[in-house]
Amino acid sequence: MNPHHSVAHAARPLNHQDYKTLSLAALGGALEFYDFVIFVFFAVVIGNLFFPPEMPDWLRQFQTFGIFAAGYLARPLGGIIMAHFGDLLGRKRMFTLSIVLMALPTLLMGLLPTYASLGIAAPLLLLALRILQGAAIGGEVPGAWVFVSEHVPQRHIGYACGTLTAGLTAGILLGSLIATAINTSYSAMEIADWAWRIPFILGGGFGLMAMYLRRWLEETPVFAEMQANKALAEEMPLKTVLRDHKPAVVVSMLLTWLLSAAIVVVILMTPTYLQKQFAIDAATSLKANSLAIVALTFGCVLAGAIIDRIGSGITFIVGSLLLGLASYSFYHQLDSSISSSALYGWYALTGLTVGIVGAVPYVMVHAFPPVVRFTGLSFSYNLSYAIFGGLTPMLVTLWMKADPLAPSHYVSSLCALGVLVGIYLLLVERRQPTLATSTG
């Protein structure tokens, strides 16, 4: 590709092909993320079916969430292996492989015999399938960000990554809606008997459909050009990342910590928190949560579009401050007498500000050069998510014993970190306009 052509590509508007790529990638991401999270919505039923009936209830729940957490711990390994081949063999191949790795275990979970018929083999098989799911999502999320960012013009990378992140959050919403539909349509006995299998079998079907749709995607122009010029990584990509791109890894891991805190605490943990801490009924708290996820989906696209225009420094300084203010106000408004409309309004507003997570991939994509981009992004994101995404629920739960407002204080602390990272990014941008060469 000659330099004039590159400049023209960077400056052109989004075309029909870009929108097609974005839609297919976001839809695939949503369906795959649905497969990853649906487990958590049926954790209680799964715990009862896959562990011995004589086991104490707390231990059963602890082990069930342990199996759920195993998916997070498997992310770095799956992500690093898939990114390694993604940097050497092509983005598209890994993008398709991650969907198969997710769809098949989800389908098999829905068909798995329970403890009553298999004994101890049942939870062990469930654990093995969950580890495969974790490996798949570890490759999917960074792979999708790299894929769309290398397809669209330079000045629309934020919008593309924000749209894709919105797709992932829509997967959580889909999981929540299907779980609600199953719980409304069937009795507790029917769910325990057979209806719990429906969302997993559906998820397997969704995944295979997404795999079929991804046949229409093309390899990214950036990878195709590197392949044509024989400019692919000459040594193991991870070795290059750890030796030459340490600042980029640190910035990416810190921003992923902010992202995981906002998603895990504000979106995933808060419905249970509302029920247990303030005796708000399940239906109301889940409705409020669904509204927050819808607002978050818009927020991701908005943050992505803004970062394209004003750069990453200002976006993260202002975005982190807004998230800090909104979440602090939301948690401090809560008490058992809060009206439904006030709860819906505050939670939706906070969900919108969580949208700052949609701007995170923009920084990570720019932080690493194309030749090791997939590996650099995948290693930083997955390692950080495994540590912080996995430990956050336990840390916040323990903290709440001493401080009922622990969720608010944890998110606020991370927002302060987000402001500091924003200041660092601003200084980097002032020193050198292209983030790619400076933080890389």
Tell me if 9 is assigned to some domain: no
Same domain, 76 and 224: yes
- Residue 218 region, left (φ>0) first, then alpha (ψ -120 to 50), else beta? beta
- In the block, tokens 């303030």 appear at 278
- Whether residue 327 lies inside any domain: the answer is yes
- Does residue 245 fall inside a structural domain? yes
Predicted confidence (pLDDT) per residue in 317-327, tens digit: 999 999 999 99
DSSP-assigned letters across all residues of 207-244:
HHHHHHHGGG----HHHHHHHHTT-S-SS-HHHHHHHH
Question: Tokens in use for 7?
Answer: 């400049």
Q: What is the pLDDT of residue 9?
A: 53
Q: Is residue 420 part of a domain?
A: yes
Q: Identify whether residues 161 and 294 lie together within a single domain.
A: no
In order of 281, 327, 330, 398, the CA distances from 395 in angstroms are 25, 18, 20, 5
Are 240 and 223 in the same domain?
no
224-236 residue pLDDT tens: 887 777 767 667 8
For the stretch 189-247, pLDDT in tens is: 999 999 999 999 999 998 888 888 877 778 788 878 877 777 676 678 899 999 999 99
* Phi, psi torsion values for 281, nearest 5 degrees: -65, 155
| CATH value at residue 188 | 1.20.1250.20
Judge whether 6 lies within some domain.
no
Which of the listed residues 195, 216, 232 is the one where a domain comes to its end?
232
Categorize the per-residue pLDDT at 6 as very low, low, confident or very high, splitting at 50, 70 and 90. very low
- Residue 268: the pLDDT is 85
Task: Report the chain's C-alpha Rg in angstroms.
Answer: 21
Cα 361 to Cα 58, 91, 186, 252: the distances in Å are 37, 16, 40, 8
Mean pLDDT score, 36-50: 86
Token output for 384: 């950080």
**Domain limits at 155?**
14-232
Spell out the residues 6+ positions from residue 212 whose beta carbon is closer than 8 angstroms to its own: none
Assess whether pLDDT exceeds 80 at residue 432.
no
Residues 128 and 263 in one domain: no
CA distance 82 to 102: 13
Tell me which residue of 290, 76, 101, 72 sits closest to 210, measured CA to CA: 101
CA atoms within 13 A on the CB side of 50: 30
Mean pLDDT of the chain: 88
Same domain? For 75 and 95 the reply is: yes
Quote the pLDDT of residue 1. Answer: 39
Using an 8 Å Cβ cutoff, are 36 and 137 in contact? yes
| Whether pLDDT at 433 is above 80 | no
Q: List, for residues 248-289, the tens digit of each pLDDT value.
A: 999 999 999 999 999 989 998 898 889 888 888 877 888 899
> Model confidence at 165, in pLDDT bands (50, 70, 90)?
very high
Question: Is the domain of 181 the same as that of 319?
Answer: no
What is the distance, to the nearest Å, from the Cα of residue 81 to the centroid of all Cα atoms in its chain?
A: 18
Q: How far apart are CA 377 and CA 303, in angstroms?
A: 19
Same-domain status, 206 and 315: no
Locus of tokens 């199996």: 67
**Distance, CA of 384 to CA of 249 (rounded, Å):** 10
Token reading at 355: 């949208």
Nearest in space to 107 (alpha carbons), one of 217, 17, 210, 26: 210
- Is the domain of 216 the same as that of 123? yes
Residue 356 lies in a domain: yes
Q: Which of 40-44, 315-319, 436-440 has the lowest mean pLDDT?
A: 436-440
pLDDT digits (tens, 9 = 90+) for 373-422: 999 999 999 999 888 887 788 788 889 889 999 999 999 999 999 999 99
pLDDT value, residue 3:
41
CA distances from 257 to 263, 294, 389, 401 (A): 10, 22, 8, 23
Quote the CA–CA distance of 158 and 167 in Å, as a whole number: 14
Phi, psi of 70 (to 5 degrees): -55, -30
Residue 255 and residue 215 share a domain: no
Q: Which two tokens stand for residue 258?
A: 């902010």
Residue 363 is assigned to a structural domain of this protein: yes
Domain count, the chain: 2
Residue 63: pLDDT band (50, 70, 90) is confident
Helix (H, G, I), strand (E, B) or coil at 339: coil
CA distance 202 to 130: 17
Asked if residue 437 has pLDDT above 50, the reply is no
Please tell me the distance from the alpha carbon of residue 169 to that of residue 304, in angstroms, as a whole number.
14
Domain annotation covers residue 68: yes
Among the candidates 217, 232, 247, a domain finishes at: 232
Q: How remote is the C-alpha of 245 from its chain's centroid?
A: 23
Question: 301, 400 in Cβ contact below 8 A?
Answer: no
CA distances from 184 to 177, 205, 238 (A): 10, 22, 48
What DSSP string describes 70-132? HHHHTHHHHHHHHHHHHHHH-HHHHHHHHHHHHHHHHHHHHH---HHHHTTHHHHHHHHHHHH
Q: Examine the fold and report which residue of 183, 208, 232 is the final residue of a domain before the chain moves on.
A: 232
Q: How many CB atoms lie within 10 A of CB 109?
A: 26
Whether 227 and 240 share a structural domain: no
* 187/264 same-domain check: no
pLDDT band at residue 4 using 50, 70 and 90 as cut-offs: very low
- Whether 311 shows a pLDDT value over 50: the answer reads yes
Q: HSE-up of 127 (CA within 13 Å, CB side)?
A: 14
Do 210 and 287 reside in the same domain of the chain? no
